[in-house]
Amino acid sequence: MKQMDTKWMHPAVQITKIITRIYRNGMTTTSGGNISIMDENGDIWVTPSAVDKGSLTPDDVICVKANGKISGKHKPSSEFPFHKAIYETRPDIKAVVHAHPPALVSFSIVRKIPDTNIIPQAKYICGPIGYAPYEIPGSEALGQNIANEFEKGYMAVIMENHGMVLGGSDLMDAYTRFETLEFCARTIINAKAIGKPHFLSDEQIEIFETQVPHDIPRNFESDYPPDELAIREEICNIVRRSCDQGLMISSYGTVSVRWKNDDFLITPSNVARWDIQPEDIVQVRNGKAETGKTPSRAMFMHQNIYRENPEVNSIILTQPPNLMAFGCTDVKFDVRTIPESWIFLQDVPKVPFGKQLRGDLTIPKLLSANIPAVFIANDSFIVTGDKLLQTFDRLEVAEFSAKSLVMAAPLGTMVPISDGQIEGLRKMFLQ
């Protein structure tokens, strides 16, 4: 995956950017979690001890030299011993992320490991998950327990009654693994709140992995006229907004906008979503892509949606955490919660996993003016619209509705708006 261009960034800057993102996304607390990078000299850059994670600056980051000398105005994280132990055990690992994200902590305190087959991309991003027995934080014993798991080849390890630690070839690799695994854990928990989660088979995931369209012709270059540049910028803004609001994670999510006739602009494959730039967006023209760019694996489905639905001018495909609870269970997503939800979405069908694959027209033919959104089981939520902002609004309304339903589950059975009330909404707003 193409990540944030860190090669020109000082390790302290990288650490600050990622810990800030982790904190703002509610995956660590002011005092919790730590990050480190080992540079080419064997020096380890690490977050400091007892410094606010919400206001960390590059000047706060500590460097522990290969000879053990400490450089910086604070003490290194109290968890530094296990970072050091991981680097000593696994020379291929160059970055470590440790935090206490709520969903993964939930798994750690019931002593279970999340099944990453809940969504299609996670198996290859996360790999198999290790499990380290409890020891006192900051102790050499804890460091040894964790190092023992990494020695087995794991890149992600659940820490019993503690949290999560992940390694990576660089910091963005470790962060993407961390974020994706927390998303899996949250999806499983939300799904269990409303029903029984289903998981994908390894064979289904293998088929999914083959769908990146490497074989399509890529033999033209865009001249970037002003109207196209405006669409590229709009797509980037919506993707970043989706990431900021938890509607999309760095490893998954596709946005496209119709440009001319059935030609469209779409997000690329293998680029961290929250770091997408206008020049990364791929123009698809007559089934061909721009030279040197690989569009989203969902390109063929988007192309067929535009061909089958002339009224659709924008599409978002993503994995919002509460909607995915319904996408991973047999529980119906009943949008008759409040008037806005039904007006925006009406009824949302679900299709089996695999119907999104190349050549299948089930979803393009299912979508219509009365069916603007659809679930793909264990994969994603697709929403369509005229303008991209309208499509994004529908996505927000859908996720808010799903969150209300998940939160209502422990309270009792949802009482939907009645058929008569629905008919009143239909006459008032949809005719």
Q: For residue 398, what is the domain's CATH number?
A: 3.40.225.10
pLDDT tens digits along 115-158? 999 999 999 999 999 999 999 998 999 999 999 999 999 999 99
Q: What is the pLDDT of residue 393?
A: 97
Tell me, yes or no, whether 181 and 247 share the same domain.
Answer: no
Tell me, yes or no, whether 282 and 328 share the same domain.
Answer: yes
Tell me, yes or no, whether 211 and 189 share the same domain.
Answer: no
Q: What is the pLDDT of residue 359?
A: 87
Question: Rounded distance, CA 29 to CA 233, Å?
Answer: 33
Tell me, yes or no, whether 175 and 37 share the same domain.
Answer: yes
Q: Where is the domain boundary, 167, 194, 221?
A: 194
Q: Read off the pTM.
A: 0.93
Domain assignment of residue 2, yes or no: no
**Residue 68 is part of which domain span?**
11-194
Q: How many CB atoms lie within 10 A of CB 7?
A: 6
Q: What is the pLDDT of residue 251?
A: 87
Which residues of the chain are under the pLDDT cut of 50? 1-3
Do the beta carbons of residue 313 and residue 272 sit within 8 Å? Answer: no
Tell me, yes or no, whether 25 and 118 share the same domain.
Answer: yes
Task: State both tokens at 120.
Answer: 């299609």
**Helix or strand holding residue 424 (H, E):** helix 419-429
**Helix or strand holding residue 373 (H, E):** strand 373-376
Question: Hey, what amino acid is at 321?
Answer: P
Tell me, yes or no, whether 102 and 219 share the same domain.
Answer: no
Question: Rounded distance, CA 200 to CA 117, Å?
Answer: 5
CA–CA distances in Å: residue 183 to residues 104, 127, 254, 429: 9, 14, 17, 36
Domain assignment of residue 3, yes or no: no
Closest among 175, 313, 145 to 250, alpha carbons compared: 175
Q: Where is the domain boundary, 194, 216, 239?
A: 194
Q: What is the pLDDT of residue 32?
A: 85
CA–CA distances in Å: residue 185 to residues 25, 43, 116, 395: 15, 33, 8, 22
Q: What is the pLDDT of residue 7?
A: 58
Tell me, yes or no, whether 247 and 325 share the same domain.
Answer: yes
Burial of 329 (0-12, 13-18, 19+ CB in 10 A): buried
Domain assignment of residue 200, yes or no: no
Domain assignment of residue 377, yes or no: yes
Tell me, yes or no, whether 249 and 361 share the same domain.
Answer: yes
Domain assignment of residue 366, yes or no: yes
DSSP letter (8 states) at residue 204: H
What backbone phi and psi angles, to 5 degrees, belong to 392?
-65, -40
Q: What is the pLDDT of residue 211?
A: 82
What total number of domains does the chain contain? 2
Do the beta carbons of residue 56 and residue 78 sit within 8 Å? Answer: no
Domain assignment of residue 101, yes or no: yes
Tell me, yes or no, whether 334 and 391 share the same domain.
Answer: yes
Closest among 318, 315, 317 to 264, alpha carbons compared: 315
Do the beta carbons of residue 409 and residue 193 sit within 8 Å? Answer: yes
Alpha helices in 136-254 (DSSP H): 140-151, 171-194, 202-209, 226-244
Domain assignment of residue 403, yes or no: yes
Alpha helices in 72-170 (DSSP H): 80-89, 102-110, 122-126, 140-151
- CA terminus-to-terminus distance, the chain: 46
Tell me, yes or no, whether 66 and 164 share the same domain.
Answer: yes
Domain assignment of residue 5, yes or no: no
Pairing of strands 373-376, 70-71: unpaired
Angle separating helix axes 388-408 and 226-244, nearest 10 degrees: 10
Closest among 245, 265, 243 to 256, alpha carbons compared: 265
Q: Where is the domain boundary, 194, 223, 244?
A: 194
Tell me, yes or no, whether 161 and 284 share the same domain.
Answer: no
Question: Rounded distance, CA 339 to CA 178, Å?
Answer: 37
For the CA atoms of the chain, what is the radius of gyration?
23
**Which residues are CB-neighbours of 224 under 8 A, at least 6 positions away?**
none
**Helix or strand holding residue 158 (H, E):** strand 156-159
Tell me, yes or no, whether 415 and 318 share the same domain.
Answer: yes
Whether the CA torsion 13, 15, 17, 20 is positive or negative: it is negative
**Which residues are CB-neighbours of 289 under 8 A, at least 6 positions away?**
213, 216, 217, 218, 282, 283, 295, 299
